Each structure stands twice: as structure tokens, then as C-alpha cells.
Amino acid sequence: MTTTAATTRDLYRLLSRITGDEKHGPSATSTLDVLWVLYDRILRVRPETVNDPERDRFLLSKGHGPAAFYAVLAAKGFIPVDWLDDLGGRDSRLGFHPDGTLIPGVEIGSGSLGHGLGLGVGMALGLRAQGLTRPRVFVLLGDAELDEGSNHEAIAYAGAVGLDSLTAVVVDNESATHGWPGGIASRFAVNGWHTSTVDGRDHDALERAFTEASETGEPASQTGEPASQTGKRASETGKPSAVIATVERKW
């Protein structure tokens, strides 16, 4: 396996190939370490399995500044590296905001804030309804994105029904205009989510948090049966998880 140090250098080299996304520069890199740890150590999805129903789903809800996402996808072989050279170009599949129908391995198109978590809740429910209890659904959001009320519809509902295959990852660079007094984690915790707050640049800490998040779903997956067959409500089997990954302030 590639070492973290070499990887980071490699990723920055790939990032440097991406031009034309000056508008969203700072947020592009706030997500880099989180994305790398997810794709390198956590997500069960490979370029060969992007259409496999059993794959884990990763949803970039915060579609702004996707350069880091594209760089990780290129590093992991989901997209050709030379796609990075024409961001937003006439014939490019990579825009300033990603379009899921154009890019292999990208589950959703995003950019308008506050859509990923609702879609992720739907995917988690859809997988469960089809007896697919192994795949996990990760949704990456920004702290400012949480301003959008649609997120709070999803947070309240997913907590209420104990949607344990769902993990929200909030990259917190304190860019929300009015902040989150009491902390972002508290918004999830009060709705029954398992939460952890970690250094968003510390790969091992991120890995531990994501692994711990996956384990909150263990009781459901141990039975090997969907909740409908066991007769259990999802809320008896676990909790959704939120990992708050703090990084340096945006400004």
C-alpha cells in the first residue's frame, strides 16, 4: 500500500493538474484528507465495482470545490488522470460541480447545497429494502452547508428511525456565517446519532472514527437479514453516525 506521505505528495501533484477552480480553492483542499482516508481505507468500492449493488456509496453533498475529490478519484483509478487537465472545459466530464451521470464512480451530481443527505437517507433505505445490509452510505458535507434546512429534515428523520448504515461526514472549517454554538456534533447527537469529532488532517484518527461509525451498524449486519425479516425496527439495531472532521479555518 502507498504510504501516507507519498500519497499526499501524489495527491498534491494531481491537484496541481486541476486548473480553473479558483473560486472554490480553499474548500477544495479542506476535504482532501477525509476523502483520501475514505477511499484508501474505508469505502468498499473500486473502479471495477462502481455498478455493483453491494458497493459502499459515497456522496459528495458539498459539491463546491470538488478538485480534491477528482484528484482522489484519479489516484484510485476511477477516472483517467488526464481528465484533470480540462476542468470545466467544453468537452470535459469534470465540472466545477460534479455531475454523477458523467463520472464513473460518482454517485450523485451536487453543487446546490443540502441535497446529499436526503439522497443518502433514500439510498440507505433503498438498500435495506432490498436486503442489501452490507453496503454503507457516506455523505460528505461542509459545516456551512448545514445552514440549509433540508439537512435538518434528514438528520431528524435518520436519527428517529436509527438508520445505522448511514454516516454523515462534516468537514468543519468554520465557514458557516453564523456558526454552530454548542458544536456541530450536538445537532446530530440530540437526534440520536452516534457522533465523533476528530482532526480532519489526522489520517489514523479519521480511520478510527469511520471504523467506529461502521460498527454502530453491527447488530443489524450480524443477523444477516433485513430489518423487515427480523421484525426489528431499525432503531433497535443501531444509530446513524456523524463524524465531524475539523480542519483549519477557511479564512
Partner 1 sequence: MVSPMRDEFIHTATALLDEDPRVAVVLADISAAEFVGAARQHPDRVINVGIREQLLVGVTGGLAQTGLRPIAHTYAPFLVERAFEQVKLDLDHQGAGAILVSVGASYDSSRVGRTHHAPGDVALIDTLGNWTVHVPGHPAEVEPLLRAAAGHDDPVYLRLSTQANERAHDGYGLVPIRHGKAATVVAVGPMLDPVLAATDGLDVTVAYTHTPRPFDKVGLRALVSGTGSADVVLVEPYFAGTSAAQVADALVAVPHRLLALGVTRTDPRRYGSVEDHARYHGLTPEQLRESVRGFLAA
Q: DSSP letters along 188-249, please? A: HHTTT-EEEEEETT-HHHHHHHHHHHHHTTHHHHHHTS-HHHHT--GGGT---EEEEEE---
According to DSSP, residue 129 is labeled: H
| 226 forms part of the interface with partner 1 (CB under 8 A) | yes
Residue type, 112: S
| 119 forms part of the interface with partner 1 (CB under 8 A) | yes
Residue type, 149: G
Shortest Cβ 132–partner 1 spacing (Å): 8
CB nearer to partner 1: give 88 or 122.
Answer: 122
Q: Which residue has the cell 457516506?
A: 138
| 146 forms part of the interface with partner 1 (CB under 8 A) | no
| 219 forms part of the interface with partner 1 (CB under 8 A) | no
| 156 forms part of the interface with partner 1 (CB under 8 A) | yes
Q: Which stretch binds partner 1 (CB under 8 A): 41-49, 126-134, 190-198, 201-209?
A: 126-134
Cell of 231: 421484525
Cell of 115: 441535497
CB nearer to partner 1: give 52 or 204.
Answer: 52
Cell of 58: 459515497
Question: Do the Cβ atoms of 107 and 69 come closer than 8 Å?
Answer: no
CB nearer to partner 1: give 111 or 200.
Answer: 111
CB nearer to partner 1: give 227 or 245.
Answer: 227
Shortest Cβ 96–partner 1 spacing (Å): 15
Which distant-in-sequence residues (6+ apart) come within 8 Å of 13 by Cβ? none
For residue 1, give the 3-state DSSP assignment.
coil
Applying CB under 8 A, which of residues 112, 186, 211, 222 lies at the interface with partner 1?
112
Residue span 2-31 as binding mask against partner 1, x where in contact by CB under 8 A, dash where not: ------------------------------
| 121 forms part of the interface with partner 1 (CB under 8 A) | yes
Residue span 68-97 as binding mask against partner 1, x where in contact by CB under 8 A, dash where not: ------------------------------
Question: Do the Cβ atoms of 100 and 109 come closer than 8 Å?
Answer: yes
For residue 140, give the 3-state DSSP assignment.
strand
Contacting residues toward partner 1, per CB under 8 A: 53, 99-101, 107-109, 112, 114-115, 117-130, 132, 149-150, 153-154, 156-157, 160, 226-228, 233
